[in-house]
Copies of this chain bind each other. A is one copy, B any other.
Amino acid sequence: MFTGLSAFPHTPLRDDRFDEAAYARLLERLTVAGVDSITALGSTGSYMYLDRDERRRAARAAVQHADSVPVIVGIGALRTSQVQTLADDAQEAGASAVLLAPVTYQALGDDEVVGLFEDVTAGLSVPLVVYDNPGTTHVTFADDLYRRIATLPHVASIKIPGVPADAAGAAARVQAIRDHIPATVTVGVSGDSTAATGLSAGCDAWYSVIGGTLPAPALRITRAALSGDHAAASAESAGLGPLWALFAEHGSYRVTAAIAEHLGLVAPDSLPRPVQGLGAAARAHAAQVVDELRLAD
């Protein structure tokens, strides 16, 4: 479950309410395409903006519409007891695993981050993916923090930020992480533009933003890289250059929502305010990239 392509779908809103019908459409694309797992309620899935009831409904909908594809559910929240409640809800909904980022308001020290993972894993029945997302959590994982958390029970995988752009640097980075964690814990790359490099450098999985909306190109990159055809993976990724440029300029979160809106998969204005969708020019540009590169096919 913690190898290959894990697709992170958007959790669409319509008039500020969870749009389950649109969510089912997004999930169906993923099962038809044949992704290896679905991670519901990741950052791309707006988890931190949704209340407990919305997250429970999204988790249930994800499991229901995922067919036989394993579903990982994000359980991050600011308070440990809230995370524990969300973990219970996710497991009751049928999640195959959970994803946990150490979300902060007051900055947390390493002992506090470890304490969070200790307290949460102590009550789990399913595996856990550690979510290292410094751009949103403002927590920096040193390799020693990986080590302390990866050796806790139930920890099965680490979602790492993007890797260095050069192959040697990426391989060294992945090896450095592996040297700190048990061999049973997989390493999954995020930062979509670096995924081909990361998979070719030895990552086991790609925790993918764009794979949640455009699974076909994400699967081509993943299958090529994990079969050892690094040149093909790199060429596929290079072909998505205009998309990566949009991500770099506007953030993958807003661009992905705009693409789902452009494709008619979700209603307009599907992000939680105060987050605003792309402006008209960027939106038109994103639509043009998707159409010209035929990314939705």
Residues of B within 8 A of A49 (CB): 78-79, 105
Question: Which of A21-29, A108-116, A157-165 contacts the other chain?
Answer: A108-116
**Cα–Cα distance between A116 and B272 once the two chains are bound (Å):** 11
| A residues contacting the other copy or chain, number (CB 8 A) | 34
Most buried by B among A43, A111, A276: A276
A151 in contact (CB, < 8 A): no
What 1/0 mask marks residues of chain A from 26 to 65 whose CB sits below 8 Å from any chain B CB? Answer: 0000000000000000010000111100000000000000
A81 to B51, CA, bound (A): 11
Contact B274 A116 (CB under 8 A): yes
Which of A81, A111, A116, A251 has the largest number of chain B CB atoms within 10 A? A81
Q: Looking at the complex, which one of B80, B108, B119, B273 makes contact with A79 (CB distance below 8 Å)? A: B273
Q: Chain A interface secondary structure, helix, strand, loop or mixed?
A: loop
Counting every copy of the chain, the complex holds 2
Q: Which residue of B lies closest to A114 (CB)?
A: B274
Residues of chain A from 245 to 297 with CB closer than 8 A to chain B in the complex: 251, 253, 272-276
Q: Does A144 interact with chain B (Cβ within 8 Å)?
A: no
With A and B bound together, what is the CA distance between A102 and B274 in angstroms?
Answer: 9
Task: Give residues of chain A (106-126) contacting chain B, Cβ–Cβ below 8 Å.
Answer: 106-109, 111-113, 115-116, 119
Residues of B within 8 A of A106 (CB): 43, 136, 251, 253, 275
Chain A residues with a Cβ under 8 A of chain B? 16, 43, 48-51, 78-82, 102-103, 105-109, 111-113, 115-116, 119, 135-136, 138, 251, 253, 272-276
4 more A-B residue pairs beyond the given contacts A48-B105, A102-B274, A107-B135, with a C-beta to C-beta distance below 8 A: A80-B272, A80-B274, A81-B273, A115-B273
